[in-house]
Amino acid sequence: MKVDAAPPATVLPEVLSEALLRRFDAPGPRYTSYPTADRFVEAFGPADALQALSLRRLGAVAGGLASSQPLSVYVHVPFCESVCYYCACNKVITRHHERARPYLDAVAQELQLVLAATGAGRAVSQLHLGGGSPTFLSDDELAQLMQLLGSAFQLTPSAEVSIEVDPRTVTPERLARLRGMGFGRISFGVQDFNTAVQQAVHRVQPFEQVRELMQHARRLGFASINVDLIYGLPRQTPESFARTVAQVGSLRPDRIALYAYAHLPQRFKPQRRIAVEELPSAAQRIQMLGGAIAGFVAHGYQYIGMDHFALPGDSLAVTKAQGRLHRNFQGYSVQPDGDLIGLGVSAISRVGACYYQNHKSLESYYDALRQGQLPVERGIALSRDDLLRRDVIMALMCQGRVDFEAIEQAHLVRIQDCFATELGQLAELAEAGLVQLEPAAVQVTAAGWFLVRAVAAVFDRNLRSDRQRERFSRVI
């Protein structure tokens, strides 16, 4: 099926308006954690991370519920053969594939340090390879990595095993190898199918190529196929992006992740190659978002929240309907809320009441491991207030509702005392139609679900006093 013409003009869902989107279009965190990663400090180092891992092991031995829950594991593969100008990920651009071997050896060494603290054979319910581009690795290298992880952890029967794929680096034969390694979920980085946009961001991959790969992935039995898109890229127009939306809809991926491009060239050097005058206006971005929401809904997708869509039968949609949605550094998850072990350069971990991140440069990462240390650069131990606010923010982000009694019982607080200022600020959002204030709860409305970041930000103590909010991406 070839989709070469833009579909008829779409309109925003009835609960939304361009004025509402424009009103709340401000920079803010994506809340894959709270506190957010920009709050990590270098005072939290390898010894603190080691202590958190050891305490988890002691908790599991003592029968602690949180410590005995299955882990999530993330492995960061930073290498890419070419740079995509929009990219804000931690990456290493190289065509020297021999650099992968010492990196994998270093990841194996880091894993051994982790296992020495936690013990081997811990149950894992979610395993994800991201980057960079994991498919920079050869098939043999990927197989060795999966064997290493398989010997270190015990995958649960229903474990989600997923990998991010650059369509330019795989063939149908490679997809078959990935399936044979145990990957059940796959994510294709597409961003946009318009040729002019692809050229502007230095990532050219024809629609037909992605379509062929997705067809093969379905025949191979991948349980879920995701497509990543970005709106707000240079040379995009509402009309051109509507065509991409229609093309993606015709491919019927199980999930769609729709991200807003954040142009922060002062932070991300590759973005300096993007011509500012080619970026769409704020009004055009709002039209793109509204058209994409309407387009995907028209194709039968359900809006999960925070830029994510899923077909009704996908586990993400089912989990949301059941009120069991969770969120971690990989985004929305169907897995129970629990600890995350991040391996590799720049990877972030959550262990107990701590977050920590590995060194962002390969040199520093390798140097720490040569010294026999966990390669932790910075982190944070959460305070009681952090834990309270995290639960409130995640309830809003995942369930769209905060029940005061549940929070009060879990944290031994009184909501009216702790959040008097925040409840006052919510009155403005209620007036705008984003939330409903009930006597014992806050309920996000249908309109508010599309702007849930703005709702969650009310409870972010750090953001309220932050003078550098512009370092975050915009809500729209």
Instruction: Find the mean pLDDT for residues 27-40.
Output: 88
Q: How do residues 359-388 score in pLDDT, each as one tens digit?
A: 999 999 999 999 999 999 999 999 999 999
Average pLDDT over residues 33-45: 94
Q: pLDDT tens digit string along 241-261? A: 999 999 999 999 999 999 999
Q: Can you give the pLDDT at residue 474?
A: 64
User: Can you tell me the mean pLDDT for 90-118?
Assistant: 96
Per-residue confidence band for 473, with pLDDT thresholds at 50, 70 and 90: low
Band of the pLDDT at 62, cuts 50, 70, 90?
very low
**Percentage with pLDDT > 70 across the chain:** 92
What is the pTM (predicted TM-score) of this model?
0.91
Percent helix, strand and coil across the chain, each rounded to 5?
45, 20, 35
**pLDDT reading at 240 higher than 90:** yes
Give the pLDDT of residue 2: 42
Is 1's pLDDT higher than 50?
no
Q: Report CA dihedral (8, 13, 17, 23) to the nearest 10 degrees.
A: -120
Is the pLDDT higher at 2 or at 476? 476
Q: What local confidence, expressed as pLDDT, does residue 470 receive?
A: 55
pLDDT at residue 17, as a whole number: 77
Average pLDDT over residues 60-82: 78
Assigned CATH topology for domain 33-341: pyruvate-formate lyase- activating enzyme (3.80.30)
State the Cα torsion 155-160-161-165 to the nearest 10°: -170
- The gap from C-alpha 294 to its chain's centroid, in whole angstroms, comes to 23
List phi, psi (to 5°) of 141. Answer: -65, -40
Which residue stretches of 119-171 are H helix? Answer: 139-152
The runs of H, that is alpha helices, within 77-171 are 100-118, 139-152
pLDDT band, very low/low/confident/very high, at 23 (cuts 50, 70, 90)? confident
CATH topology of domain 17-32+383-476: Arc Repressor Mutant, subunit A (1.10.10)
What is the SS3 string spanning 234-256? Answer: CCCCHHHHHHHHHHHHHHCCCEE
pLDDT at 330: 79
Q: Residue 331, Cβ neighbours under 10 Å: how many?
A: 19
Say if residue 128's pLDDT is above 70.
yes
Q: Decide if pLDDT at 456 tops 90.
A: yes
Distance CA 320, CA 334 (A): 8
Strand, helix or coil at 104? helix
Q: Are 355 and 363 in contact (CB under 8 A)?
A: no
Kindly report the average pLDDT of the chain as a whole number: 90
Collapsed DSSP state (helix, strand, coil) of residue 425: helix
What confidence score (pLDDT) does residue 472 get? Answer: 63
How does pLDDT run across 300-359, given as a tens digit for each residue? 999 998 789 999 999 999 999 898 888 888 788 887 778 999 999 999 999 999 999 999
| 102, 212, 323, 362 from 256: Cα distances, Å | 34, 18, 20, 31
Give residue limits of the domains in the chain. Answer: 17-32+383-476, 33-341
pLDDT confidence of 6, banded at 50, 70, 90? Answer: very low
| Count of beta carbons in the 10 Å neighbourhood of residue 324 | 15
Report residue 469's pLDDT band, with 50, 70 and 90 as the boundaries.
Answer: low
Q: How many CB atoms lie within 10 A of CB 223?
A: 14
Q: Give the pLDDT confidence of 180-214 residue by residue, as tens digits.
A: 999 999 999 999 999 999 999 999 999 999 999 99
Q: With contact defined as beta carbons under 8 Å apart, do 310 and 316 qualify?
A: yes
What pLDDT was estimated at residue 463?
83
How far CA 158 is from CA of 228, 233, 330, in Å, comes to: 24, 37, 18
Over residues 275-287, mean pLDDT: 92
Per-residue pLDDT at 141: 98
**Helix axes 172-180 and 139-152, enclosed angle (nearest 10):** 20
63, pLDDT greater than 70: no
Q: How far is CA 88 from CA 152, 271, 318, 362, 419, in A?
A: 31, 8, 31, 17, 34
Identify the band that residue 8 occupies on the pLDDT scale cut at 50, 70 and 90. Answer: very low
